Amino acid sequence: MTLPLLSLLPVVLLSLLLLLLLPEGRGASQVLPSSALVLSAPSELQCDEDATLDINSIRVDDYDAQDFFGYHLSANLTVSAATGGKISLRSLRGLRVTHGDFFGAQELHFTGPLGAMQQALGSLTYTPAGDFSGMDSLLVSVRDSHVLGGQRVQGPAAVSREVRVQVLPRNDSPVVSAPSRLSCEEGGSAVFALSLTDDDSLDSSSGSDSGSSSSQYVLRFTVDHGDLSFLAPVPSASSASSWQQAGSDPLEPCLAGEALAFPRCRLAGNLSSVNEALSQLRYTPPRHFNKAVDGVALLAVSVQEVQVQEEEGGGEGEMTPTVTASSAAVTVHLLAVVEPVND
């Protein structure tokens, strides 16, 4: 009886081999990748407006990936379409990107072996849309597969995690618009205008019953050859003297008037009052100064936004200002070209 059984052994082995090689739909779908796929990610992260966020805390693992031939993972990364943020890959080794630009896209699809996928998901970069602040979200979805019978077989279900990204608002620096250069003749003068813009200015006071806050702007003007005059009204120097730190600032306040000229001065006020002062300026070069002999003059304008918080002081109805610098100082330079004249 043993001999007939031994003669059937090759047939049994051949049958088992054919079962393993059957295409999907004829037995292969019964052998699926493991459900041991594990995806972990933080629930919430933070970054600043107009900054980038390195995400190094997303982890993927599959404890029996080595049990399957041709084991691969496919990943989908999707940033909320409404916010305009983008996700990018810092590691591409061993990956194949099937959808999206790996330098930055709202949606990325890519595949690769477990090790490459672990490195890629562990080194992502999120970039919010310009000037966006608020809550964004990143959806991470991973699915496994392997090769069976010459065909790729998908795992039973994708594993997904959502990462919420809180983009914190950041105060933007004000922008000074200025002509590229000034020009006048020797013995003459040049009248010009500047303008100041700030997208997130608090030009009108806001706050609580016990105090209010507003954006104020401190501008400092310096001319290396010549003087500057303000032909339009300027903010009152006395109204802001309590927070201009006049004792430590070597520059005297800018004053308006045809006959007044300053090689260096400062002014401070809210956005509208400062722009009124900047609407009509006059540069006057020194006597006999011209480009042929002396070169060009340089006018420097620096501006810094500060937040002025006024709170009730010791006396009844008395308000005490507190000043906090809320942006870095921005400086622009204007060249003044003085053409020589024949005396």
Q: What integer pLDDT is reported at residue 238 of this predicted model?
A: 46
Could you report the per-residue pLDDT of 117-136, keeping only the tens digit for each?
999 999 999 999 988 999 99
The band of 70, judged by pLDDT with boundaries at 50, 70 and 90, is: confident
Q: What integer pLDDT is reported at residue 73 of this predicted model?
A: 86
The residue count of the chain comes to: 343
Q: What integer pLDDT is reported at residue 23 of this predicted model?
A: 40
User: What is the mean pLDDT of the segment spanning 76-102?
Assistant: 91
- By CB neighbour count within 10 A (0-12 exposed, 13-18 middle, 19+ buried), where does 62 fall? buried
Strands 281-284 and 195-197 come out as unpaired
Locate 76 and state its tokens: 């989908």
- Comparing C-alpha atoms, which of 43, 80, 74 is closest to residue 58? 43
How would you label 313-336 residue by residue, b for 16+ Cβ within 10 Å and e otherwise? eeeeeeeebebeebbeeeeeebeb
The band of 35, judged by pLDDT with boundaries at 50, 70 and 90, is: low
Distance CA 316, CA 296 (A): 55
User: What is the mean pLDDT of the segment spanning 54-65?
Assistant: 88
CB hemisphere CA count around 6 (13 angstroms): 3
- In the block, which residue shows the tokens 């936004």? 305
The band of 144, judged by pLDDT with boundaries at 50, 70 and 90, is: confident
Locate 108 and state its tokens: 């990325």
Distances (CA, A) of 56 to 28, 119, 126, 338: 37, 9, 11, 57
Which residues on adjacent β-strands are paired with residue 89?
124
Q: What integer pLDDT is reported at residue 313 of this predicted model?
A: 58
Distance CA 270, CA 277 (A): 11
Q: What integer pLDDT is reported at residue 213 of this predicted model?
A: 64
User: What is the mean pLDDT of the segment spanning 162-166?
Assistant: 96
CB atoms within 10 A of CB 241: 13
Distance CA 129, CA 84 (A): 5
Percentage of the chain with pLDDT > 70? 74
Distance CA 76, CA 240 (A): 56
Could you report the per-residue pLDDT of 190-213, keeping only the tens digit for each?
999 999 998 776 554 444 444 456
Distance CA 185, CA 167 (A): 52
User: What is the mean pLDDT of the segment spanning 79-92?
Assistant: 90
Confidence check: pLDDT of 273 > 70: yes
Three-state secondary-structure class, residue 272: helix
Are the beta carbons of 301 and 332 closer than 8 angstroms? yes
The band of 153, judged by pLDDT with boundaries at 50, 70 and 90, is: confident
Could you report the per-residue pLDDT of 93-106, keeping only the tens digit for each?
999 999 999 889 99
Confidence check: pLDDT of 338 > 60: yes
Q: Is the Cα torsion angle 286, 289, 290, 293 positive or negative in sign?
A: negative
Confidence check: pLDDT of 152 > 70: yes
Are the beta carbons of 150 and 109 closer than 8 angstroms? no
Three-state secondary-structure class, residue 120: helix
Q: What integer pLDDT is reported at residue 214 of this predicted model?
A: 76
Could you report the per-residue pLDDT of 307-328, keeping only the tens digit for each?
777 666 555 555 555 666 667 7
Distance CA 68, CA 28 (A): 13
- By CB neighbour count within 10 A (0-12 exposed, 13-18 middle, 19+ buried), where does 22 fall? middle
Could you report the per-residue pLDDT of 6-33, keeping only the tens digit for each?
566 665 555 555 444 444 333 333 334 4
Percentage of the chain with pLDDT > 90? 48
- By CB neighbour count within 10 A (0-12 exposed, 13-18 middle, 19+ buried), where does 299 fall? buried
